[in-house]
Structure 1
Amino acid sequence: MIRVGQTSVLAGLLTFGLAASSATSALSQEQKDYAGRQIRFVSTGGPGGAFDTYMRTLIPPMEKYLNATLLPTYELLGLAAIDRVVNAPKDGSTIVLLSGEGMMTSFLYKMPGVRYDPRKMEWIGRVADEKKVIAVSPTSSFNSLADLVASNRKVLWGSVNNSDSNSDATAVMAYVTDMPAKIVLGYGGSSGVNFALANGEVDGRVASHDSAALFVRAKQYKVLATVGLSRSKMFPDIPTIAEVSPLSDDKKLILEWRANIADLGRVMITTPGTRPALLSLLRKALENALNDPLVVERLKEQQLVPAFANAEETVKLVEKSLTMLDAPHMEQVRKIALERYY
């Protein structure tokens, strides 16, 4: 026999069940396919860095939208991360957050180990751009880009290796401004470069504007200019190279090309050949997350400012990077980036 209290409980459970059934029926077939699945979310930055912060901030809203579990994974080598996603099952079970900038320069400079074609990637979207800025120590005697260009000795710039996207941006910066410069390689990641800058081993470095903003607040950087034609939203009062240095049409073209690659920024990709409906769902999940004011606020609390671009907009940036320079210009830039200042 069912008592009154039991009747109320059963009625409540029935109501809940009907609501859950209604919510489930409202899901798309792709959302139902993802329900309960595990998706490997690969970040090419280590724990505690900007990539890691973006990944961990995006996981909860994307999990909610996809009705799936996202597993944070680290793969510090960009080429290894790309190989992983390219060779993963074509079911949207692996997504990678990586530097689109490094991905493009490695491809265009024909670096060893590159086995991918950016045109064949499945782009989910851009999370943030990575405008480059010129940074020196707060105690440096260099107080402007003009000071650097007028130096009576070679200005020393720290970097990891000549395929690092910061080193090639440094080389382009030095070339278009006619700066006397030497790029010192071999530092163990950004932390090694920052240590060298603090100790006076190098005069400066080129860094992404969001990373630079963290170090400016910590009083470890002084930013002198943005490497590009438009100002950084992180440093709206800091001039661009184009505002300070007179540029020939040829040098302006090279600077614009390199700035366009930086604008590609931090991107998310998945396995080529993923079913269009699943790909669309992943794209909507990212867009939904980065348009959520709470997500944006959480990122701003970490001194990060997202700059979402959908897949179509991201593909346009990729195509522009691939076609903006003709073959002679591309070979010229390759020699500038990989040989000239070392």
Structure 2
Amino acid sequence: MPTSEAIRLPSLTPGTEHRLLKHRFGSGGRSAYIQAGLHADEHPGLLVIQHLLSRLVALEAEGRLDGTIVIVPFANPVGLGQQVFGQMPGRYNLANGENFNRNFPDITGSLEQAIDQCALEKNDVAVFKTLFAAAMDMPPPLEAVQANKYWLLQEALNHDILIDLHCDTSSILHIYANHDQRQRALDLAAATGVEAVFLEDEAGGFPLDEAYAKAWKTLHRRGLVDTAHLGFSATLELRGQADVEDDIAAADAQGILDFLQHEGLISGEPATPLRHERIQVYPLEGVSHLKAPGTGIVAWKKRIGEAVTRGELIAEIVALDLAPGAARQAVTSDVDGILVARHHIKLARSGQKIGMLAGTTPLPGRQTGKLMGI
């Protein structure tokens, strides 16, 4: 039977309480941690998690769990409580404007010191997790959102696999992962039907998956762990904010379970082999963020997932305050690749990001460590 736990966060206001829920399935062996809703206005993953929970209850009852799987069904209760006239601005903390998935704790300094002070055997994953736990052994922050980040990273570092479920405003399925884990990122993509995988060394902003990966990369850089034993983290982007449908969520949940089965956490014969032929890998340095050249309505000429070529018309900005018949402003592609995402709000301000393109060639000006938007 699964076990459940509630983690209390510091109170934001008198008389209120926020809690994180954690459900644990299976025991022993390798382990995976999956969460959704860190950006509280991204809801596809919340429904996918519910399908995962139902399937995991059945799999555990069938005795098919060969490892441990921990699920946090909503990773940001503070963000879920933010309402402005009925709308949920769940990407940013209204208290200070900070992105909820940025500035997670960095344990690498403490980890480097611990490595220097003890003799470690290569690929001793159990000991490495003990080192991570020791590096996180500090008083939790007193502020609710920072305490939330502290707890999420502490939990994630207990596991061999971290899958963080997100979505864009309107986009195709895609994955963000690390160059060190290219093959496993491709396996996750194949299992979940993803055709676009973005790889980077350091994205920047220190989101959860990067905070997790950086701890493991510290060991990898010191020659203490090989790629086969390296902890794997990925952000799985589940299309757009409006793509919250039962049938889609059920299929996405099954894809995640197929990946975990491929990783040896679930027993039985896989329903289908993982096929990588349709997957395209893009360097995160090859991502271009489209910006509106003026203020007005965005008239898109390309759908998400469509191929684009350099110089091709992607959209037009229709100004609302010019003379009748005034020319539209063109938005063109600066890559040969695909249109990954479009902003779902069609009224744009001058300079606003309205879409995301991906090409296979790094773009001038894109710098490692500064690759993520706010």
TM-score bucket (shorter structure): under 0.3
TM-score, scaled relative to structure 1: 0.24
Structure in which a larger fraction of residues adopt helix: 1
TM-score, scaled relative to structure 2: 0.22
Higher relative contact order (CA 8 A, sep 6+): 1
